[in-house]
Structure 1
């Protein structure tokens, strides 16, 4: 597992998990939402891919992920046919976890061709650009190779290897990362289990997890590090990132086990979101699903704007940050955000009024090419401060 830090959020690596180890899906995992976003069965439709030799399918390794989504009111279905305009038409969110080309079944070695045909990639591309939300998850080799072509379609290049602390081994990795699309203030830590890495040279691809010290191992045979053909520094690679594609959103993640729950070995040790002291994996999944729901697109943008501001704004000479506690959409399309000011020695009105409320609204521009994500929102009202947190009624 990898340990990362985002403004108080940790990502932890404490063991390496071979997908070839004895493991069964934790189908009985029960997910709890403090405030389910939708009534049962009335939320957006989440389709989990099961048509591409996936190691994780809805009714197999990814059942716990489905349980989380269903407990929040999302409608979860298995997508068991090739991707076409018709097969994707009823989906709001498409989740692809560890796809695999048929030639790599039981044969985890190079070459690792794409799990998707060119026709399917075009179908997914059109679906996303028309407003679809894609979550593409590819673990260590051979899954990075299977996802490579689909990721590259959106400007994200997967490395078909293993993220590790040292050549041939696994350990802790520490870094900062930035996740504006998820309300990560509520998450203390999250664990990932080995996984892959990715990169992009596009300015509109935003990191979720940035890897730092370590080695990217690229063996010719999975888990056989005596067959290494390449090993290079891991620093600067992503283990998660996201981007926009016209009306849609693409999230790419380089590790799958931390997004579900499995029972490993004869003792059925829980691995994933059910791992003891796992941290914020469940909250990460919940926030990601809420943020990717089509009707919450404006909240995602507003929260991204606020988080960008906190990286560039100071109170006097003292850096500070906003911790969002609640938000409410207004009839005019504006967003009211409330939360707490966090920062050493920051004081408002005798150091007692440390909670804030601010209203933001979309920035209007006559430029048809105007699409600066961090300038798309503007501050509508002055920050107001109080001694008590403000939580909006449901």
Structure 2
């Protein structure tokens, strides 16, 4: 019975992983934000740039189109960015979104994994944040954590380069942590991804519990019964950090903030999924914190 259960669990994990790796994974064309009240007007609209200069898997007009739609519904000015990070360039933005960056010219998921950002870019982002900018960083399952390691570790976040299963974070069991961001939120759903440890000065938002494990394959998506599994008890999928005058929000799963469809099956994941009814408001709250509205 135990081996059968393991097989079933592995199958469920693979379904989630394959939904992320499948080439026909596209933004949900039917998605409409629930939000109808704009927090910002044209006079005070924060400028959000979504990084597309680093081989990003999630982009403004691509798989993060619903993410962009939610932000626009609240009055943010959302732009895509094809530029290398410099302090001068970043000063035009209030919030920088880096979602599932990859190393240059990657065509498949095979190792070795390079760095998405060079030393100068990491230093530019650090300096910009310390001077008042806000960073929204998303790194999903392997290999995304590995290729953004220089940037995440610069702020003290240490990722596991593996796959975790879908998770439900609830206020009543304290896996969803009380914070101004979670005010009015009782539940958030994630769809696999990875996990990370946080620096001492960070504040957790989404905490994994005793049953959480990470499958860590040598080659992403190539998982079998012998693939190492590591406990993620006490690790995190969401946290925030104040750095100088600026702010950083880090998440280890991207579908939490988007709505996507697998074209071949019609199956939708993310903001419109059962259990994720409050994910959109959670995203808006994160953005309000990054824009220093709360």
TM-score range, shorter chain: 0.7 to 0.9
In the other structure, the counterpart of 1:69 is 71
Q: How does 1:238-277 map to 2 (within 5 A)?
A: 238-277=236-275
SS in 2 for 1:251: strand
Match of 2:62 among 39, 56, 60: 60
Distance, in Å, in 2 between the alignment partners of 1:230 and 1:127 is 38
Once the two structures are TM-superposed, the CA of residue 31 in structure 1 deviates from its matched residue by: 1.3
Higher relative CO (Cα under 8 Å, sequence separation at least 6) belongs to 2
Distance, in Å, in 2 between the alignment partners of 1:228 and 1:173 is 29
In the other structure, the counterpart of 1:33 is 35
SS in 1 for 2:149: helix
Match of 1:91 among 93, 110, 117: 93
Once the two structures are TM-superposed, the CA of residue 223 in structure 1 deviates from its matched residue by: 1.3
Change (3 A) 1:231 1:110: farther
Match of 1:48 among 35, 47, 50: 50
In the other structure, the counterpart of 1:127 is 128
SS in 2 for 1:240: strand
Once the two structures are TM-superposed, the CA of residue 117 in structure 1 deviates from its matched residue by: 0.6
Q: Which has the higher helix share?
A: 2
- Contact 2:188/2:275 (<8 A) preserved: no
Distance, in Å, in 1 between the alignment partners of 2:82 and 2:178 is 31
- Contact 1:43/1:75 (<8 A) preserved: yes
Match of 2:201 among 204, 211, 214: 204
Distance, in Å, in 1 between the alignment partners of 2:256 and 2:17 is 11
- Contact 2:189/2:275 (<8 A) preserved: no
In the other structure, the counterpart of 2:177 is 178
Distance, in Å, in 1 between the alignment partners of 2:134 and 2:258 is 19
- Contact 1:258/1:281 (<8 A) preserved: yes
Deviations 1:82-135 (A, max 9, x none): 1111221110011111000026x2331333222111110001001100000101
Once the two structures are TM-superposed, the CA of residue 255 in structure 1 deviates from its matched residue by: 0.2
Distance, in Å, in 2 between the alignment partners of 1:34 and 1:191 is 22
What's the TM-score, normalizing by structure 2?
A: 0.86
SS in 1 for 2:183: helix
SS in 2 for 1:194: coil
Distance, in Å, in 1 between the alignment partners of 2:34 and 2:126 is 33
Aligned length: 275
Identify which range, 94-103 or 133-142, moves more after superposition.
94-103
Distance, in Å, in 1 between the alignment partners of 2:45 and 2:291 is 9
SS in 2 for 1:64: helix
SS in 2 for 1:284: helix
SS in 2 for 1:209: strand
Distance, in Å, in 1 between the alignment partners of 2:275 and 2:153 is 35
Match of 2:217 among 216, 219, 231: 219
Distance, in Å, in 2 between the alignment partners of 1:85 and 1:171 is 37
Distance, in Å, in 1 between the alignment partners of 2:29 and 2:66 is 6
Q: Which has the higher strand share?
A: 1
Structure 1 unaligned residues grouped into runs of 5+: 1-12, 165-169, 300-394
RMSD across aligned positions (CA): 2.3
Once the two structures are TM-superposed, the CA of residue 194 in structure 1 deviates from its matched residue by: 0.5
SS in 2 for 1:107: coil
Once the two structures are TM-superposed, the CA of residue 61 in structure 1 deviates from its matched residue by: 0.7
In the other structure, the counterpart of 1:159 is 160
- Contact 1:49/1:79 (<8 A) preserved: yes
SS in 1 for 2:21: coil
- Contact 2:248/2:290 (<8 A) preserved: no
Structure 2 unaligned residues grouped into runs of 5+: 1-12
Structure whose CA Rg is larger = 1
Change (3 A) 1:173 1:109: farther
